Amino acid sequence: MLLLSCFTYSAGVFGQYPTVRERIINLPTFDQKPIHYGYFLGFSQYDFKFEYVKNYYSELLYKDVAVIPKSGFTVGLIGDLRLNNYFNLRFEPGLYYSRRELQYPDVVGFEKEADKIRDIKSTYIHLPLILKISTKRINNFRPFIMAGFSTDFNLSSNSKNTDDNSSNVFRTRAQNLNYELGLGFDFYLYYFKFSPSLRGIFSFQNELIPDANPDSPWTGIINSMFSRGIAIIITFE
């Protein structure tokens, strides 16, 4: 009788607690919102892809202009439109700051050593329209990929400057067009959604403004110049 009483008491006490602990689902209805907003922070790094004039390559033995990318930063806002359970259309206007150093080869020919270096600073108003494709949510975790197009307005382009490289002014076009690809992960926290992602930004518009002198050692050897960037973006929604 005593053993039976102890067994009954124990079953009553321990029966109140499940043997398997259930996982808590954060923000269970977050993805059902038709529209939501957020902001992002991140780091970026840009370089250039060059297409050279044919005579330059044949005469100077394939000496490229070296691009030394410097780390930049980015900050902006997010507007997200839900299309269905797996597709979202996003507008992510932001400010991207980057810096690139061009080092010209010795074979080009310069009067001074300092003329071989050009420091290009870019401040982009970046306006992308992106399709976000997500997998099914797994507890508080959800992978995704992204693809879209964007336009940039470069506030540091010097496009309206009448001076050129002869006065140490490297000019680029004020606006260009890009396509973007990326991948990342959504993490659902208690109060908000946290999402790190890796983005690639590829311009398909020539950004170079040639110098007034067609034989300029800075721009005369270059036919086209395109920006390529990589960014690590952290969003808070």
Highest mean pLDDT among 55-59, 212-216, 218-222, 231-235: 231-235
Instruction: Name the more confident of 40 and 105.
Output: 40
Q: Which of 87-91, 106-110, 146-150, 173-177 is the least confident region?
A: 106-110
- Residue numbers of the domain that contains 87: 2-236
What is the reported pLDDT for 38?
Answer: 96
> Nearest to residue 150, comparing CAs of 132, 166, 129?
129
What is the reported pLDDT for 112?
Answer: 81
What is the reported pLDDT for 172?
Answer: 93
What is the reported pLDDT for 65?
Answer: 85
Q: Residue 3's pLDDT band (boundaries 50, 70, 90)?
A: very low
Burial of 107 (0-12, 13-18, 19+ CB in 10 A): exposed
Average pLDDT over residues 47-74: 78
Q: Is pLDDT of 149 > 80?
A: yes
What is the reported pLDDT for 56?
Answer: 58
% the chain with pLDDT above 70: 86
Cα dist from 44 to 86, 121, 149, 218, 237, whole Å: 27, 13, 17, 26, 21
Q: Residue 96's pLDDT band (boundaries 50, 70, 90)?
A: very high
What is the reported pLDDT for 21?
Answer: 53
> 109: phi > 0 → left, psi -120 to 50 → alpha, else beta; which?
left
Concatenating the DSSP letter of every residue in 100-157 gives: EEEE--GGG--SSGGGGEEEEEEEEEEEEEEEEEE---BTTEEEEEEEEEEEEEETT-
- Work out how many domains the chain is built from and give that number: 1
What is the reported pLDDT for 9?
Answer: 45
CATH number at residue 208: 2.40.160.20
- Helices and strands counted in the chain (H then E): 2, 9
Q: Is pLDDT of 168 > 70?
A: yes
